[in-house]
Amino acid sequence: MKKKLRFTLLFSLSIAFTFAQGIFDDSIHTAVGFGSVNSPGGEAVQNVIDQNSSTKFLDFNAFDGIGFEVDLLGESKIAVAIEIVTANDAPERDPTDYEIFGSNNGTDYTSIITGNIPCVPDRFFSRTFSFTNTTGYTFYRVNFTGTCASSSINQIADVQLYETIGNAPMITCPSDINVNNDAGTCGALVNYSLSANDDEDGALAPTITSGLASGETFPVGITEVFASVTDSDNNTVSCSFIVTVTDNENPLVSCPSDITQTAANPGDTSAVVNYSLNPTDNCDLINPLTGFTPLANINNKAYYLSDASFSPQDAFTNAVAQGGFVGTIRDGSDNTLLVNAISSIGAAGDVLIGYNDVSTEGSFEWQSGDSATYNNWNAGEPNNAGNEDYTVVQSNAGWNDVANSSTYRYLLEIDYSPTQTAGLPSGSDFPIGTTTNTFEITDISGNSVPCSFNVIVEQNLSLNDNNLDRNISVYPNPTSSSIILQIKTSTSIDTVTITDLNGRILQVFTNIEFIESKKQFDVSQLSLGVYFMAIKSKDGHSALRKFIKR
């Protein structure tokens, strides 16, 4: 099985954006809220046109979007592009759609363009969308609707409309690039070319504004590259494309050869057998888990993000039911790695981790009982506002304490071991005979390889046991109803015990009378399967035979 991708395409490229002179000027223009706007004092509507990404416009009434109007004070401008900048936190509050209107009297507005805004986890992230418009307006209205996840709040850092002055430059991005990973690495070195020119300025050098430069190693998954170029008239043209790196490299595993081992003592029906697999992968090894998206494997701890949302209490219970705990973050590098992994699958919003002070207020501990003391609280946190006993990690990698009253996707942590589909774990008591062990080794991209080997446990026979063993036979084998024990010597048999593969005693026969050195035993009541017949002589020697009931 090869699952080539676990990521969702954000939006198709290559698209060129053109803009030059910004229309909104915070020093002379005033933004006025449109629709039902409920903003805190420091996050009011004027922030949306101040071109300062550290401030934002927030609206608690997300049901009708987050909108504003600007009077250009009688100056007519032809808008041909919109720049949108995400705010500092909470990607779930980002709007998903926009509509731009124009008016020349401040009352009668004409819809110019509607568009979609792909959700991204990046904060302070600027994107520009161009559109066709040939009409100048003295008033502009912009309204954003939708949220990137379940939220009653909309927020946005900055919005700017642009007009073109003179002839804009031309920029050419490559088509979307799809490559496989480089052997042995969790990424691929990708080369691409960008070009730009202007009628007046000639050839121009594009600048990478987001993503990775040509010749760098792109990680497995999707990387969006934005490039722009500006001419001497301050006209800026942008384009973007997507680089998709597919991990198609299977895990590696040193599957053991068949193992043969003799039982420790005469008469033993099993033996302890140890073995090791030691699988590796160019990315991460992790087992598929229904209801969870794999994120990373850190020091044999497999981390997943729950697909569903839970209250903190329910998440703690669910994590234990999955065989693990709500995730532990042990240091800063793990914190960064996990936040980036969450971002790479397009997850927005707060993610619950296992840090809590449920037992003693103010004394935080990990649900797993881990002794790690690392934390990354946001400024002013934890503040226990409203009895906040649990912790979430946010897209900025900072932590915030939360109450049990809301629901969150949670970070699940489970000890990693390869998936065993048949046989017994290392260190188990393996029964006399052959046990086939099979494993499935899977990486984080879904590439999977099997591993199979046999464990053969042989009887430990003394000299006299060997004599007994050589002189007995059982038949028919397989059998459907009865099995015959035949003895070729005059040895007296004390007991015959029938056990299953796990060593459980199912039947014991004593006071056995042989007729012409044969004795028939009724096994019709046994279920279909493999069984052992342990034969013990009156002089204390033993032998073991395996038979199949069909």
State which of 130, 163, 196 marks the end of a domain: 163
Task: Tell me if 20 sits within 8 A of 165, measured CB to CB.
Answer: yes
Asked if pLDDT for residue 430 goes beyond 70, the answer is yes
211: left (phi over 0), alpha (psi -120 to 50) or beta: left
Residues 217 and 141 in one domain: no
In a domain, 252, yes or no: no
Task: Say whether pTM exceeds 0.85.
Answer: no
Name the least confident of 355-359, 443-447, 463-467: 463-467
State which of 458, 485, 510 marks the end of a domain: 458
Residues 411 and 447 in one domain: no
- Give the integer Cα–Cα distance in Å for 82 and 115: 10
Residue with more model confidence, 91 or 334: 334
Task: For CA atoms 110, 20, 206, 199, give the dihedral sign.
Answer: positive
- Nearest CA to 92 out of 154, 149, 157, 155 is that of 149
Model confidence at 427, in pLDDT bands (50, 70, 90)?
Answer: very high
pLDDT score recorded for residue 462: 58
Residues 23 and 147 in one domain: yes
Number of domains in the chain: 5
In a domain, 156, yes or no: yes
Q: What is the CATH number of the domain that holds 424?
A: 2.60.40
Q: What is the CATH number of the domain that holds 329?
A: 3.10.100.10
Asked if pLDDT for residue 15 goes beyond 50, the answer is no
Q: What is the CATH number of the domain that holds 491?
A: 2.60.40.1930
CA atoms within 13 A on the CB side of 130: 17
In a domain, 254, yes or no: no
Q: What is the CATH number of the domain that holds 198?
A: 2.60.40.10
Residues 71 and 108 in one domain: yes
- Mode of pairing for the β-strands spanning 448-458 and 493-500: unpaired
Give the 3-state secondary structure of residue 117. coil
State which of 123, 142, 163 marks the end of a domain: 163
Structure tokens given for 138: 């003295």
Residues 263 and 308 in one domain: no
Residues 201 and 184 in one domain: yes
pLDDT score recorded for residue 491: 78
Residues 423 and 410 in one domain: no
Residue with more model confidence, 210 or 474: 474
Residues 33 and 94 in one domain: yes
- Other CB atoms within a 10 A radius of the CB of residue 536 amount to 18
Q: What is the CATH number of the domain that holds 155?
A: 2.60.120.260
Asked if pLDDT for residue 468 goes beyond 90, the answer is no
Name the least confident of 174-178, 393-397, 438-442, 444-448: 393-397
**Could you report the per-residue pLDDT of 267-321, keeping only the tens digit for each?**
788 999 999 999 999 999 999 999 999 999 999 999 999 999 999 999 999 999 9
Rounded mean pLDDT, 158-186 = 91
Residues 84 and 142 in one domain: yes
Domain that holds residue 174: 170-246
Residues 300 and 349 in one domain: yes
In a domain, 63, yes or no: yes
In a domain, 32, yes or no: yes
DSSP category for residue 343: H
- Nearest CA to 409 out of 333, 295, 287 is that of 295
Residues 25 and 156 in one domain: yes
Q: Supply the mean pLDDT for the chain.
A: 90
In a domain, 5, yes or no: no
Asked if pLDDT for residue 234 goes beyond 80, the answer is no
In a domain, 4, yes or no: no
In a domain, 2, yes or no: no
Residues 380 and 471 in one domain: no
